[in-house]
Amino acid sequence: MRHDLHIVGEMNENFNVPEVLLLGGREIKELLSMGEALKAVEQSFRLQTNGKTIMPPKLYLDLPQYQGDFRAMPAYVDGAAGVKWVSVYPDNWRQSLPSIVATIILCDPSTGYPLAIMDATYITNIRTGAAGGVAVKYLARKDSTIIGFVGAGVQAKTQLLAIIEVLPQIKEVKVFDLDRDISQKYVDEMTAKLGINIHPVETIQDATEADIIVATTPSRKPVVRKQYIKPGTHINAIGADAKGKQELEADLLRSGKIIVDDIEQASHSGEINVPLSGGIIKIEDIYGTLGEVVASAKKGREDNEEITIFDSTGLAIEDVVCAKIVYEKAKKRGVSTFEFL
């Protein structure tokens, strides 16, 4: 179906106007695999470290009266420019809606003309999972076989899918959620999909008895304690993505090697934001970025006793590289378009 979208102002029939792709979530799921997202996100980290990306700070529009917020995330990477407009409403589940809803406008950086407008909820989920997978690839022990999840929402699913891609020897997955029904639904769905031993556990401490721990909660107080963590553990701290959020105990951060996706963004909205603002840790305590590890500018895991921690806030460059893949595949396949002028 074609639609006419008119811009206020003078129309010029002589414009050589390209068509703009309009892509929904169902189409995007068919166009972007976890394997593709992993490669693209890993490359975006490498390009970031090599100074080949442009990514202004994430802009927040806080709406506490609605218990949610919007975020504007622009970036240029790998020959594409775009912006993601994403909302985070943790209580949306009460209305049977996803807590994260997003849209991406992908543009041609040589003309400024929009190439595609696409649903980005799935892209947000899969690229965040992919970032966690890249972190595990470089920071977890190579002999890791057990994963523990604290939180069993959508992000826990894509994190597991990504980790299985980079560590196919995983044989056991423990899952804790405050809502036991959600844990069981997660177990049923992911067991059917992956065919490995996935089971719910009764406590956070049970879940953290693992080689790799993934925390995906919206908590504003520490839920993963230092005393739970054994030497050699890798932790993906995914849930803290706004000021005041914190999943890991500050003492745990001080005892581990902290790797962030972006130092400025993590300082304001990542796992480190609360202990950093309280003076419990300092910027100097941050080992480096995941991009520096991917680009071999810094070492990743250096021995089997290290506790490594990846603080993921979610980067616009991850969204743009994934959106570019979707756009290029959609163009080849042929999808819905509309005229922008």
Strand ranges (E), the chain: 20-23, 53-54, 59-63, 68-77, 80-88, 100-107, 114-119, 146-150, 172-176, 197-200, 212-215, 234-237, 257-260, 286-289, 308-311, 337-338
Residue 3's pLDDT is 41
| Res 19: pLDDT | 84
pLDDT of residue 255: 93
- The pLDDT of 249-253, averaged and rounded, is 94
pLDDT at 15: 63
* pLDDT value of position 7: 39
pLDDT at residue number 14: 61
Tell me what pLDDT residue 93 has: 83
Cα–Cα distance, 272 to 285 (Å, whole number): 10
Quickly state the pLDDT bin for 11 (edges 50, 70, 90).
very low
Q: Do the domains at 20-123+317-338 and 140-315 have one common CATH topology?
A: no
pLDDT for res 147 = 98
> What's the pLDDT at 99?
87
Is 84 assigned a catalytic role?
yes
pLDDT at 190 over 80: yes
The full set of domain ranges for the chain reads 20-123+317-338, 140-315
CATH of domain 140-315: 3.40.50.720
326 falls in which pLDDT band (50, 70, 90)?
Answer: very high
Question: Is the pLDDT higher at 207 or at 26?
Answer: 207
Per-residue pLDDT tens digits for 270-281: 999 999 999 999
Its CATH class, for the domain covering 20-123+317-338, is alpha beta
Burial of 51 (0-12, 13-18, 19+ CB in 10 A): exposed
pLDDT band at 8 (very low <50, low <70, confident <90, very high): very low
pLDDT given at position 96:
87
Q: What is the pTM of this model?
A: 0.90
Place of tokens 């206020």: 8
Would you call 323 helix, strand, or coil by DSSP? helix
Residue with tokens 């000021």: 243
Which of 11-15, 214-218, 245-249, 250-254 is the least confident region?
11-15
Instruction: Give the model's confidence band at 141: pLDDT under 50 very low, under 70 low, under 90 confident, else very high.
Output: very high
Percent of the chain with pLDDT over 70: 93
**What is the pLDDT confidence band of residue 1, given thresholds at 50, 70 and 90?**
very low
Looking only at the bridges linking them, the beta strands covering 68-77 and 53-54 are antiparallel
Which whole number is the average pLDDT over 253-270?
Answer: 94
- How far apart CA 129 and CA 65 sit, in angstroms, is 30
Average pLDDT, the chain: 92
Of the residues 39, 58, 84, 221, only one is catalytic, namely: 84
Q: Higher pLDDT residue, 212 or 154?
A: 212
